[in-house]
Amino acid sequence: MLRRRHGVSLSRSSVETEDVNPNSYIVNLSDCMLVLMLGLIVALISYYNIDLTQTPEEEITGIEVNMDENQDGIIDDGYEKRGSVYYDSSSGEYYFVNERGA
């Protein structure tokens, strides 16, 4: 990069050379992106009033799958029966019994 010394014309004696490191600009750009993302996250948390100290009440161990989408009482194609699920109303727990077929 060429620089003038105190407003003097650019002659060979008055020009300084400076090493340019293009990586320094990329590092500064990545720092700016991180600060912007952090600000966006904080703004979204404060806008939606999210409580970060809240703990889940119960542990989720599975997902619910609707195997009879058209509600005709017949399990739709693509599913195989592998066992049965039993619910204990006194403890509120589900039990899966694996039925080994031939």
86 CB-side CA count, 13 A: 7
Two tokens at 34? 């991180």
Q: Is residue 80 part of a domain?
A: no
Q: Is residue 40 part of a domain?
A: yes
d(CA 89, CA 96): 15
In the predicted structure, residue 1 carries a pLDDT above the cut 70: no
DSSP 101: -
Q: Is residue 7 part of a domain?
A: yes
Q: How many domains does the chain have?
A: 1
In the predicted structure, residue 12 carries a pLDDT above the cut 60: no
Q: Is residue 93 part of a domain?
A: no
Question: Mind listing the pLDDT tens digit for each residue in 32-76?
Answer: 999 999 999 999 999 999 888 877 676 667 766 666 666 666 666
d(CA 100, CA 102): 7
What is the pLDDT at residue 40?
A: 97
Q: How confident is the model at residue 89 (pLDDT cuts 50, 70, 90)?
A: confident
Q: Which domain holds residue 23?
A: 2-47
Q: Is residue 21 part of a domain?
A: yes
d(CA 101, CA 24): 65
SS3 per residue for 22-70: HHHHHHHHHHHHHHHHHHHHHHHHHHCCCCCCCCCCCCCCCCCCCCCCC
User: Average pLDDT for residues 6-25, to the nearest whole number?
Assistant: 67
What is the pLDDT at residue 32?
A: 93
In the predicted structure, residue 102 carries a pLDDT above the cut 50: no
Q: Is residue 102 part of a domain?
A: no
What is the pLDDT at residue 65?
A: 65
